Chain A
Amino acid sequence: MSEERIQLKINGLPVEVAQGTSVAAAILNSGRTSFRQSVDEESRGPVCGMGICFECRVSVNGHPHIRACMTTCEAGMEVITFG
């Protein structure tokens, strides 16, 4: 497995991950647990890990409602979490 590292930003702060890491894994590895706020303003994070539950929605490069578990990290990506 290639262990090439890439840099991206989560909430403005630089994060380095192995190539192929999903945005969801990168967020959790950075110590953050809340991905989005629910209707009643509860913190939520990934559940199904496979694109079904939509709980891991974050903003990627300015696009809202992107499923972090279905998105692979790219160099220079700007990820914003909520909550």
Chain B
Amino acid sequence: MGKTAKFDVLIIGAGPAGIAAAMAASEPGKCVGLVDENSAPGGQIYRALKGQIQNSISSQIKTLDDRGVIRFDGATVYDAPRPNTLSITKGGEFQTLEYEKLILAVGARELFLPFPGWTLPNVMGVGGLQALVKAGLDVKGKRIVVAGTGPLLLAVGDFLKKYGAEVLAIAEQAPIVNLLRFSTNLLSFSSKIGQGISLIGSVGTKIRPGTWVASASGTRALNSVILSNGKTTQELECDYLACAYGFVPNLELPLLLGCAVEDGFVQVDSTQQTSVQNVYCAGEPTGIGGIDLSTLEGTIAGYFANQNDCPTLVLKARDRWKLFSKKLDATFALRTELKELASPDTVVCRCEDVRMSQLVGWESSRAAKLQTRCGMGACQGRICGPATRFLLNWEHGTVRPPLIPVPLAGLETRTSAVIEQPEN
């Protein structure tokens, strides 16, 4: 078993919120740790090409390194064996990290909803396909349908086009009236206007409001998709389908630590502290709001976790961006037709191949899990959990360690209490 390191402030997640938190919390004499599952910091939004650090954050990462912030890149938190202690795994090794204050900047994942054919190879997420292209997937000349909901659809459509893909359609399930209302709202958030105009200029003609993927088909892999607007359908032959219905927060670690969650989000006070003392949360887990809100919340959590006051300007800016977050929710609210897409034999739990017909009639995710194995596979319900919450109104299932599959050796941290000094 690995050794234990102790931190004044430990931050989980090195995306926009985590990096901002580390910038605000790090100062001489403070021991700050920054843990991220990916091989380089940046999270999904600052994910650079082929495992490198994106230029826009490289100076911040250098500052953090200069200030002695200890980075754990490629490390996943899988347990909280004792109070103020987390277990991480990195490259097959295990280590425990102790903290005085903890900041959870664990981000969000895409919401995937089942439809016939969604399990075919080459049907992916929207951010999912973008991440794969950034990791070296060649999409030159590939015919791609982008679908689902949210501003990411346009950004990824534009991104794929720049990488030489032929974007056939961008099927946005939100009705056009919502999108127009949202565009006028953007006028009060000036930093988003230029971005919006440039995206519309690039892929605007491909947008189909009020349209969704009804099904996908193919033999060994995806061959075509059928788009529907509720009245008419159209079949498009394509190489990839990128489809996701916005984001859901990564709640596993906050729930494991006992943080209160309401309406699907971690509850925080004005200092970003959760219901658990000394545990803070910033970014998407407190409400989906994008990079600006995440950065502000991270900064606020960093200041307070380091027992400094936060500038009022930052607090006010956060509250303003919270409004933007509410507008996003209203604009891209999911239509009820999406609840009817899965047919009885459509797989819902991809790990255990549990089909829609097996899930109807259970009153909770726990009952279904016990009877059908829904949510019991390798992803531990990370994909089917949010889907069944939307489809069947089941609440988030309970969370138990380990949060990801680990070898038995990783559980020794539960019984051993060897304390050593940090390496720095």
Q: Is B52 an interface residue (CB 8 A)?
A: yes
Chain A residues positioned under 8 Å from B125 (CB to CB): 47-49
Assuming the A-B contacts A47-B125, A51-B37, A65-B405, are A20 and B52 also in contact, with contact meaning beta carbons closer than 8 angstroms in the complex? yes
**How far does the Cβ of B358 sit from chain A's closest Cβ, in whole Å?**
12
Chain A residues positioned under 8 Å from B50 (CB to CB): 1, 18-21
In the bound complex, do residue B109 and residue A1 qualify as a contact, i.e. CB atoms below 8 Å apart?
no
Assuming the A-B contacts A18-B136, A54-B378, are A45 and B221 also in contact, with contact meaning beta carbons closer than 8 angstroms in the complex? yes
In the bound complex, do residue A49 and residue B136 qualify as a contact, i.e. CB atoms below 8 Å apart?
no
Q: Is B131 an interface residue (CB 8 A)?
A: yes
Chain B residues touching A, majority SS: loop
- A-contact bits for B99-119, CB 8 A (1 contact / 0 none): 000000000011010000001
Assuming the A-B contacts A43-B221, A69-B135, are A49 and B49 also in contact, with contact meaning beta carbons closer than 8 angstroms in the complex? no
Q: Is A8 an interface residue (CB 8 A)?
A: no
Chain A: CB-nearest residue to B383: A53
In the bound complex, do residue A22 and residue B221 qualify as a contact, i.e. CB atoms below 8 Å apart?
no
Chain A residues positioned under 8 Å from B379 (CB to CB): 52-54
**How far does the Cβ of A83 sit from chain B's closest Cβ, in whole Å?**
9
Chain A residues positioned under 8 Å from B221 (CB to CB): 33-34, 43, 45
**How many A residues are at the interface, by size bracket?**
35 or more
- B-contact bits for A12-35, CB 8 A (1 contact / 0 none): 000001111110111011000111
Chain B residues positioned under 8 Å from A24 (CB to CB): 132, 135, 137
**How far does the Cβ of B58 sit from chain A's closest Cβ, in whole Å?**
13
**How far does the Cβ of A20 sit from chain B's closest Cβ, in whole Å?**
3
Give the residue of A20, A25, A39 whose beta carbon is less than 8 angstroms from that of B132: A25
**A residues touching B (Cβ–Cβ < 8 Å)?**
1, 17-22, 24-26, 28-29, 33-35, 38-40, 42-55, 57, 65, 69-70, 72
**B residues touching A (Cβ–Cβ < 8 Å)?**
37-39, 44, 49-52, 109-110, 112, 119-125, 127-133, 135-138, 220-221, 347, 350-353, 377-379, 382-383, 405
A-B pairs, 3 with minimum CB distance: A20-B50, A21-B136, A45-B121
